């Protein structure tokens, strides 16, 4: 069955952690945008829930300030802001106690779509699920949204899945990975499966290798102690990079339908080879004159946690045998870039002679900055003087290609929250997918934990450790420059 937008007459969305950073920075500004786009039915309600003592008026003031900061365009739209804030109310509730639950039970309507967003620390996911049932607030139709991290290894992810399953069916659970909500990520599927051009070439016979890069310029200062328990592999690779890899590598699903897509992604994860020690590079950024080193920010001089990781990954199936996927992600790097580069093989023979040999085609799928897709092709350099070839990009930056619509691409959170309301799970991870991802990740982490090897120190503002460059040089390849 093909998924389609289901009209929703009304909904109640409860945001546990409604005063927190994520709610103020992403969730509520995202909802404000959807409100302005006319996608919020008149009688729908948003209920913030947390332990802080405040009333509806104080909560609306808090969120009004958040809109001012994180959706600055709202400053010119006072009527819309007032209309949106009118939908908000607040309930004081303790996820680990009994306070506030009976009040919440009276507030949440049973005859509309109910969604509960768990925007709180992971230790509260289980207690919230339990209390929603104990206080008879959730129904068999309610949906819960779970933020990352979903466990820190296979065992904890299984335990969390089991706890949630005591109270909710898989169809009610929306495990969020905001990368899947990005416009480009969905466009990747449109490009692959909506054109006849790419799919026949989408295999090891024509694709030399794939690079997936998520580079950040920020460090971990302010949340170093928290990050130090996780590291780049757990924080980024197990979820975001793995999801991107799945969408590139999966077989075409029969329909763009939640379980059809997720079945195909799961097969990719299960086909991933184990990773050997010489296929991984881990690093920690150094201090600059103005910024602390990773070790200083983590407040742990002996930390073995990585702020950078690069991996060479193989997928053992017919389509991909022999085509490596190189993944890298890190903090305090030169630029903030998220992109996937599909490097095609060179032409088997150059009819123009060796000097005029064409560069291989590459398809660049950019998630940030400037979401868009670019295909590099070889053409003749204009002018007389023989057949000189030049590689040029066919650029489809959404903001340019799609005009005003491209500039107004909804933020990932906006799209995903509305998908929850509409009951569309296509862009959310299923429980078995998350477990399979941990089952692949755990032995890699165990390998370096057992070895006790220190991550390599790399310069802040660089492209990462030199050893990550060597990882590709060894194979006669090189990373695409991470320039913005």
Residues that bind ligand NAP (CB under 6 A): 16-23, 50-52, 93-96, 119-122, 124, 147-148
Cα–Cα dist 110/28, whole Å: 23
Residue 104 vs 341, nearer CB to ligand NAP: 104
**Residue 379: other Cβ atoms inside 10 A:** 11
What's the rounded Cα separation, in Å, for the pair 227 and 229? 5
**CA nearest to 242, candidates 216, 263, 212:** 212
Calculate helix-pair angle for 56-70, 28-36, nearest 10 degrees.
80
Q: 316: which residues sit within 8 A by CB, 6+ positions away?
A: 271, 272, 273
d(CA 210, CA 477): 11
- Angstrom distance (rounded) from CA 141 to CA 114: 7
Calpha distance 9→43 (Å, rounded): 8
- Would you say 129 and 164 are in contact if contact means Cβ atoms under 8 Å apart? yes
User: Judged by CB, which is closer to ligand NAP: 27, or 315?
Assistant: 27
Q: Quote the least distance from Cβ 15 to ligand NAP, whole Å.
A: 9
* Between 123 and 195, CB nearer to ligand NAP: 123
Q: Is 240 a catalytic residue?
A: yes
Nearest-angstrom CA–CA distance, 371 and 188 = 11
Dihedral of the CA atoms 109, 115, 119, 122 (nearest 10)? 110
**Token code pair at residue 195:** 């054109």
Is 105 or 356 the residue whose CB approaches ligand NAP more closely?
Answer: 105
Distance CA 419, CA 409 (A): 15
Separation between Cα atoms, residue 293 and residue 278, nearest integer Å: 25
Angle among Cα 139, 143, 145 to the nearest 5 degrees reads 140
Neighbours of 481 (CB within 10 A): 9
C-alpha 457/C-alpha 238 separation (Å) is 23
**C-beta nearest to ligand NAP: residue:** 20
| Minimum separation from the CB atom of position 152 to ligand NAP (A) | 11
Give the active site residue among 167, 178, 209, 240: 240
The rounded radius of gyration (Å) of the Cα atoms in the chain is 24
DSSP state of 56: H
Which of 91/444 has CB closer to ligand NAP?
A: 91
Kindly state the smallest distance separating residue 262's Cβ from ligand NAP, in Å: 21
Our CB check for ligand NAP shows the closer of 147 and 216 to be 147
Report the nearest approach of ligand NAP to the CB of residue 115 (Å). Answer: 16
- Residue 97 CB, shortest distance to ligand NAP, in Å, is 7
Q: Which is closer to ligand NAP, CB of 102 or CB of 350?
A: 102
The distance of closest approach from Cβ of residue 451 to ligand NAP in the complex, given in angstroms and rounded to an integer, is 28
CB of 71 to ligand NAP, least distance (A): 15
Active site residues: 240
């Amino acid at each position: 069955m093909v998924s389609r937008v289901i009209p929703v007459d009304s909904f109640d969305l409860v945001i546990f952690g409604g005063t927190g950073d994520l709610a103020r920075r992403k969730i509520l500004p995202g909802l404000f945008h959807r409100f302005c786009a006319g996608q919020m039915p008149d009688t729908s309600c948003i209920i913030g829930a947390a332990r802080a003592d405040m009333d509806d008026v104080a909560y609306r003031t808090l969120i009004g300030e958040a809109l001012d900061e994180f959706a600055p365009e709202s400053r010119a739209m006072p009527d819309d802001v007032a209309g949106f804030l009118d939908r908000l109310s607040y309930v004081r509730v303790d996820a680990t106690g009994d306070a506030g639950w009976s009040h919440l039970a009276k507030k949440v309507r049973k005859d509309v779509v109910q969604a509960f967003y768990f925007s709180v620390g992971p230790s509260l996911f289980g207690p919230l699920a339990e209390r929603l049932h104990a206080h008879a607030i959730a129904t068999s139709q309610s949906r819960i949204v779970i933020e990352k991290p979903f466990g820190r290894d296979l065992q904890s992810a299984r335990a969390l899945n089991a706890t949630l399953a005591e109270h909710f069916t898989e169809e009610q659970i929306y495990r969020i990975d905001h990368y899947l909500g990005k416009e480009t990520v969905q466009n990747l599927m449109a490009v692959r499966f909506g054109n006849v051009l790419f799919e026949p070439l989408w295999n090891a016979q024509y694709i030399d290798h794939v690079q997936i890069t998520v580079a950040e310029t920020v460090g971990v200062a302010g949340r170093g102690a928290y990050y130090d328990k996780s590291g780049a592999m757990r924080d980024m690779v197990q979820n975001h990079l793995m999801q991107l890899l799945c969408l590139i590598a999966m077989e075409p699903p029969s329909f763009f339908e939640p379980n059809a897509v997720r079945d195909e992604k799961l097969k990719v994860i299960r086909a991933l080879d184990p990773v050997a020690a010489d296929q991984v590079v881990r690093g920690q950024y150094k201090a600059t004159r103005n910024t602390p080193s990773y070790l200083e920010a983590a407040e742990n001089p002996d930390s073995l946690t990585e702020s950078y990781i690069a991996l060479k990954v193989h997928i053992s199936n017919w389509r991909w045998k022999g085509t490596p996927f190189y993944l890298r992600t890190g903090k305090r790097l030169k630029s903030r870039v998220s992109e996937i580069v599909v490097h095609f093989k060179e032409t088997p023979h150059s009819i123009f002679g060796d000097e005029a040999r064409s560069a291989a085609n590459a398809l660049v799928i950019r998630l940030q900055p400037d979401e868009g897709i670019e295909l590099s092709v070889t053409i003749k350099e204009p002018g007389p003087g023989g057949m000189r070839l030049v590689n040029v990009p066919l650029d489809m930056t959404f903001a340019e290609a799609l005009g005003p619509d491209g500039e107004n691409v909804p933020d990932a959170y906006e799209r995903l929250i509305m998908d929850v309301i509409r009951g569309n799970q296509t862009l959310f991870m299923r429980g078995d997918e998350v477990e399979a991802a941990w089952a692949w990740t755990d032995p890699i982490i165990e390998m370096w934990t057992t070895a006790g090897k220190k991550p390599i120190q790399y310069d802040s503002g660089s492209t990462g450790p030199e050893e990550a460059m060597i990882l590709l040089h060894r194979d006669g390849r090189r990373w695409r420059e991470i320039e913005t």
